[in-house]
Amino acid sequence: MTAAPQPSPGHRQEVHVSSRVKASGRSRASARRTRPGSSASRSKAAKPAAAAPRRSAAAKAAVVRRQAAGKAGSRRTAAGASAAGSGAGRQLPALHGSLSVVISARNEEQTLLKLLDQVTRLKPLEIIVVLNGCSDRSFQRTRLCPQATIVHIPESAGHDVGRSLGAKLSRGDILLFLDGDMVIPARQMSLFAEAVDGGVDVALNDLDHLLPPFALSDAVTRCKMYLNAVLGRSDLGVSSMTAVPHAMSRKALERIGYRELMVPPKAHALSIMRQLRVEKAGTVNVIKHNRLRQSNTGAGNAMEQLIAGDHAEALAQVLGEQQASGRLSENLLQEQRRQMAAWRNAL
């Protein structure tokens, strides 16, 4: 593992944004022409004094209506433009604590710069990008962000190791964990940092309403739900430190230990067992934006097996601590096994 050199102080990132504003307006005017000698012409000649005032009043009224409508439309357009502008450039709430953003990436040259652009809007103390076995131009892309501290691991150190390493190197009061393959708007990311800044120790991504009913769920979803049930936190549903984005406090990191972040479900279980404040903080649809790879597609894929194994390790930790504390008697263990069998057979 080597730490990459930082860009020189004079290095600047250049962003070229091209936009085309197309406006088209068409005005159509229709005029009715009357031939000399026609009935309409004779009618006009017969009653010039009576018809003219009526037409003049109607024309004036139409002009007034058009002017009023034009002004109202202008006000609505201006208000809409103002609202759109304020939404696009809206300042994010300032945090009381300092923020460290840890991004794990493997061959994400297409999305890294876009993600980093959103991250810099959070005004973090530091951005730590762990390039874990990248063979593309992710390194060169990341160097275009002057604020990024790059940790370059030439050979892949394994899934989730980047989070653990980034956490060890971090200095902030709040740690926000992201993956390099998802470009998440700054406002959504800030929800997790704000939750920790407000007193939450572990702020999780709430995916419950994005998933199908339990009977139709995949094995990973069931593992998450079961672990939360065993921990007495069924209210968390499928929320877990396995999913990004999530954030944690410095206190939580010190109480859990950065090494445990290499097995997210175990870190999740320890957070709850150590009486830390673990809550849902927001919803980011990572299911839609997750990059499809050979390792995470298809039934029984490598990623599914890895996460299931991580949950087995977490459950072993939970059972071990409960037995050591005397809270898990043999009778209670048998009852839990019975309930587990009934739950499995009902699927």
Q: Is the per-residue pLDDT at 139 higher than 80?
A: yes
Read off the pLDDT of residues 92-103 as tens digits, 9 standing for 90 and up: 999 999 999 999
Amino acid (one-letter) located at 264: P
- Report the distance separating Cα 240 and Cα 219, nearest Å: 14
> Which of 142-156, 194-208, 236-250, 323-337 has the lowest average pLDDT?
323-337
Listed ranges 46-50, 84-88, 177-181, 324-328; the one with the highest mean pLDDT: 177-181
Which range has the worst mean pLDDT, 65-69, 145-149, 211-215, 224-228?
65-69
Task: Tell me which DSSP letter residue 291 carries.
Answer: P
Q: Give the Å distances, CA to CA, from 327 to 2, 243, 282, 333, 334.
A: 46, 30, 33, 10, 13
State the Rg of the chain over Cα. 31
> Which segments of the chain does DSSP mark as H helices, in order?
39-46, 48-88, 112-120, 138-142, 161-169, 186-197, 219-230, 250-256, 264-273, 286-289, 302-324, 330-345
Collapsed DSSP state (helix, strand, coil) of residue 94: coil
Q: How confident is the model at residue 238 (pLDDT cuts 50, 70, 90)?
A: very high
pLDDT score of 181 more than 90? yes
Which two three-digit tokens encode residue 230? Answer: 């065993």
Is the confidence at residue 309, as pLDDT, over 70? yes
Q: For residues 244 and 250, what is the distance between their CA atoms, to the nearest angstrom?
A: 18
Total residue count of the chain as it appears in this document: 347
Region 303-323: what's the mean pLDDT?
90
Band of pLDDT at residue 337, cut at 50, 70 and 90 = confident
With 90 as the cut, is the pLDDT of residue 249 above it?
A: yes
Phi, psi angle pair for 104, to nearest 5°: -100, 135
The answer, yes or no, to whether residue 209 has pLDDT greater than 80, is: yes
Q: Greater confidence, 149 or 29? A: 149
Closest alpha carbon to 158 in 263, 254, 2, 287: 263
